[in-house]
């Protein structure tokens, strides 16, 4: 539909354009170009600097194009070896969390949009209320560490990111677009509700599963917050929390030492930070152009009723 109106507009605008049309179009190209470049510029700086020698970074600063190309920082990160443990941990958490999260969200989302489910409003409200009123960080922290004993357990990161009322509502909206007749015909064939969901509705829910799954996966991949609360004494850290520690420890080092003496340190701290940043974020940068349409789908389906 959107594409259609776009094509029509194109053909229309070829007919009759005023001077102000051209001015606005010109502004559009310039403004959007600049905004797009500004959006990726900091990444190019990090990328360029990650291949620069430490001495050049210290004397000339960060750069888009390295003066002396070197992969020393990457070699150091890789040789250190522990980054692969972080990778393994993050990949496993992302896969497991996304899978379980998808299962719970889709099952609940489907049940809650069934018009013949008498408790759908009560359960919807029960779930929705959690986004209206929260206990706050301190009671949550005390519960997780004191009652559940999840301090220094990966479950403290895996579980809190798995389900959210927003994702369930999003899935519910996707499930609404699956024709109700499918459920009805399943019932006539004598299938149970779970069987209907699993073998009839789930295959039709692919766009919703893709969208919610990607929101979940992105949440797990970029996780640093729960880790900063609960994983402080772990030796293997999720990727972004690992980056968080490297960035902030180097920064605190910098803040505590007068800046001109930083080069005293033998470690190439600056290029190490950049190389770690690239390695922990690389998969996202390569993958997101292919999956962004699912996010756009999610925003337009769930935006207003978030």
Partner 1 sequence: MSTINPRVPAPYSQKRAIGKKIWNSKTLILMCLPAIIYFIAFSYAPLPGIYVAFVNYNYRKGIFGSPFIGLRNFDFVAKSGQLWTLTRNTIIFNLIFILLDNLLAVVVAILLKEIQSKAFRKVSQTMMFLPYFISQVLVGLLVFSLLNSDTGFLNVVLTKLGKEPLRLYKDGSAWPLIITLVHLWQKTGYNSVVYFAAIMGIDAAVIEASMIDGANGWQKIRYIILPSLRPTVVILILFALGGIVKGDFGLFWNLVGRNPTLYRSVDIIEMYVYRATVSDFNFSTASAVGLYQSLIGFILVLTVNTIVRKIEPDYSLF
Site for partner 1 in 5-64 (CB under 8 A): 5-6, 8-10, 12-13, 15-25, 27-29, 31-33, 35-40, 42-43, 45-46, 49, 57-58, 60-63
When binding is defined by CB under 8 A, the residue of 86, 108, 211, 226 that contacts partner 1 is 108
Cross-strand partners of 69: 52
Cα separation, 56 vs 77, in Å, equals 19
Cβ atoms < 10 Å from Cβ of 230: 21
* 84 lies in the binding site for partner 1 (CB under 8 A): no
Helix (H, G, I), strand (E, B) or coil at 190: coil
Q: Region of 257 please: left (phi>0), alpha (psi -120 to 50) or beta.
A: beta
Shortest distance, position 209 Cβ to partner 1, whole Å: 16
**Six-digit token string for 195:** 């069987």
**Six-digit token string for 296:** 């756009």
**Of 44 and 78, CB closest to partner 1:** 44
Stretch that binds partner 1, among 67-75, 81-89, 90-98, 116-124 (CB under 8 A): 116-124
Q: How many residues does the chain have?
A: 306
**Of 78 and 257, CB closest to partner 1:** 257
When binding is defined by CB under 8 A, the residue of 152, 177, 252, 265 that contacts partner 1 is 252
Cα separation, 286 vs 6, in Å, equals 29
Distances (CA, A) of 31 to 35, 39, 107: 6, 12, 44
**Of 19 and 264, CB closest to partner 1:** 19
Residues in region 184-223 near partner 1 by CB under 8 A? 192-194, 197, 218, 221-223
Shortest distance, position 225 Cβ to partner 1, whole Å: 7
When binding is defined by CB under 8 A, the residue of 73, 93, 102, 162 that contacts partner 1 is 162
């Amino acid at each position: 539909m959107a594409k259609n109106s776009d094509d029509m507009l194109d053909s229309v605008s070829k007919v009759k354009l005023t001077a102000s049309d051209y001015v606005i179009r010109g502004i559009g190209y310039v403004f959007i170009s600049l905004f797009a470049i500004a959006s990726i510029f900091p990444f190019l700086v990090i990328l360029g600097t990650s291949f620069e020698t430490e001495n050049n970074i210290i004397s000339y600063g960060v750069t888009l194009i390295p003066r002396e190309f070197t992969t020393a920082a990457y070699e150091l990160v890789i040789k250190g070896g522990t980054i692969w443990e972080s990778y393994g941990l993050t990949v496993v958490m992302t896969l497991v969390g996304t899978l379980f999260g998808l299962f719970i969200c889709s099952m609940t989302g489907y049940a809650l949009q069934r018009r013949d489910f008498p408790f759908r409003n009560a359960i919807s409200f029960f779930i929705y209320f959690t986004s209206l009123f929260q206990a706050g960080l301190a009671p949550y922290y005390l519960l997780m560490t004191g009652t559940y004993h999840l301090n220094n357990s990966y479950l403290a990161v895996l579980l809190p990111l798995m389900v959210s009322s927003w994702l369930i509502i999003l899935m519910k909206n996707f499930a609404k677009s699956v024709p109700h007749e499918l459920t009805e015909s399943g019932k006539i064939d004598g299938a149970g509700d779970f069987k209907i969901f699993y073998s009839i509705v789930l295959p039709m829910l692919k766009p919703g599963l893709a969208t919610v799954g990607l929101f979940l996966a992105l949440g797990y991949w970029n996780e640093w917050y729960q880790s900063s609360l609960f994983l402080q004494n772990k030796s293997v850290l999720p990727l972004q929390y690992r980056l968080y520690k490297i960035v902030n420890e180097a920064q605190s080092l910098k803040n505590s030492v007068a800046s001109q003496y930083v080069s005293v340190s033998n470690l190439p701290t600056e290029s190490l930070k950049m190389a770690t940043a690239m390695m922990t974020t690389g998969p996202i940068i390569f993958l997101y152009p292919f999956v962004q349409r699912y996010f756009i789908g999610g925003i337009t389906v769930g935006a207003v009723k978030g």
